[in-house]
């Protein structure tokens, strides 16, 4: 029978270690999401104000973050800031900084998009009905914005979780790194471990991201 190298995962605490590695990745995404979502709402709302200067600054921030690959951003913060500012940043903190900056930019763009997608006559008809500005926002604009926003921000969460795989490259010990360690340690006894272990990593990422994507699609169908 074809040796798929799956047996290493049943040795000792290997599977548990892999899952702990996954938890590191998920933890980084969760923290980044928790911080970047509210920041994104602020950024996005500010992007719809009339002040040209604020708009310009935010536009530059958004475009700069967006055009660079996330790995380049990780390198800049991890290697660059250590050098420039003389501090010693752990890989985890560097990745949270990058994901927050990136997440706030992406979320900001989603919020902006959702806000400007509300047709003008929604404001006008609210006014015609005698609603105050605050009431218009509370009862008319925000509920509609949220419905457009929620599926998109859930998608952003899966993107973020997928992107956490990159933190391996700045020395964070997450699932892929643990996988490499397990494969390396069992090189002699299980030469085919790299098939089985990476397959399991692949499946684990899928099992985390897929349900979230399905939820986003479900909400999108129901709400949009």
Partner 1 sequence: MNWEFIEKYLPLYQKAAVLTVKIGLLGIVFAILVGLVCAVVLYYRVNIARQIVSFYIELSRNTPLLVQLFFIYYGLPKIGFAMSAEQCGVAGIAFLGGSYMAEALRSGLESVEPIQRESAKSLGMNSVQTMRYVILPQAVSTSIPAFVANIIFLLKETSVFSAISLMDLMFTAKDLIGLYYKTTESLFLLVVFYLIILLPVSLLGSYVERRVRYAGFGS
Residues that bind partner 1 in the complex, under the rule CB under 8 A: 2-5, 67-72, 75-76, 79-80, 82-84, 158, 162-166, 168-169, 176, 179, 183, 191-192, 194-199, 201-202, 205-206, 209-210, 213
Between residues 140 and 185, which has the closer beta carbon with respect to partner 1? 185
For the CB of residue 38, give the shortest distance to partner 1 in the complex, in Å.
26
For the CB of residue 19, give the shortest distance to partner 1 in the complex, in Å.
15
CB of 94 closer than 8 Å to CB of 172: no
Between residues 29 and 145, which has the closer beta carbon with respect to partner 1? 29
Residues 6 or more apart whose CB falls under 8 angstroms from that of 87 comprise 81
Between residues 37 and 168, which has the closer beta carbon with respect to partner 1? 168
CB of 78 closer than 8 Å to CB of 170: yes
Would residue 186 be called left, alpha or beta, if left means φ above 0 and alpha means ψ between -120 and 50 degrees?
alpha
Cα 126 to Cα 110: distance, rounded to the nearest angstrom: 24
At 12 the three-state DSSP class reads: coil
For the CB of residue 220, give the shortest distance to partner 1 in the complex, in Å.
13
For the CB of residue 1, give the shortest distance to partner 1 in the complex, in Å.
12
Between residues 136 and 153, which has the closer beta carbon with respect to partner 1? 153
Q: How far is CA 155 from CA 5, 22, 31, 75, 213, in A?
A: 33, 19, 16, 25, 6
For the CB of residue 131, give the shortest distance to partner 1 in the complex, in Å.
32
CB of 118 closer than 8 Å to CB of 179: no
Between residues 107 and 176, which has the closer beta carbon with respect to partner 1? 176
């Amino acid at each position: 029978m074809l040796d798929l190298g799956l047996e290493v995962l049943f040795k000792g605490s290997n599977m548990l270690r892999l899952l702990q590695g996954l938890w590191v990745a998920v933890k980084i995404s969760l923290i980044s999401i928790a911080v970047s979502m509210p920041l994104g709402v602020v950024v996005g709302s500010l992007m719809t104000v009339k002040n040209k200067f604020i708009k310009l600054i935010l536009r530059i921030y958004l475009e700069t973050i967006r055009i660079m690959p996330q790995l380049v951003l990780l390198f800049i913060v991890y290697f660059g800031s250590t050098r420039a500012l003389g501090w010693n940043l752990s890989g985890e903190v560097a990745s949270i900084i990058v994901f927050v900056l990136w997440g706030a930019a992406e979320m900001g763009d989603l919020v902006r998009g959702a806000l400007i997608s509300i047709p003008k006559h929604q404001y006008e008809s609210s006014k015609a009905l005698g609603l105050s500005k605050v009431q218009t926002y509370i009862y008319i604009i925000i509920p509609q914005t949220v419905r457009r926003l929620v599926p998109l921000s859930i998608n952003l969460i899966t993107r973020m979780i997928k992107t956490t795989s990159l933190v391996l490259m700045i020395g964070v010990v997450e699932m892929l790194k643990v996988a490499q360690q397990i494969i390396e340690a069992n090189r002699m006894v299980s030469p085919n471990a790299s098939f089985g272990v990476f397959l399991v990593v692949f499946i684990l990422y899928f099992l985390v991201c897929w349900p979230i994507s399905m939820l986003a699609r479900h909400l999108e169908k129901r709400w949009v």
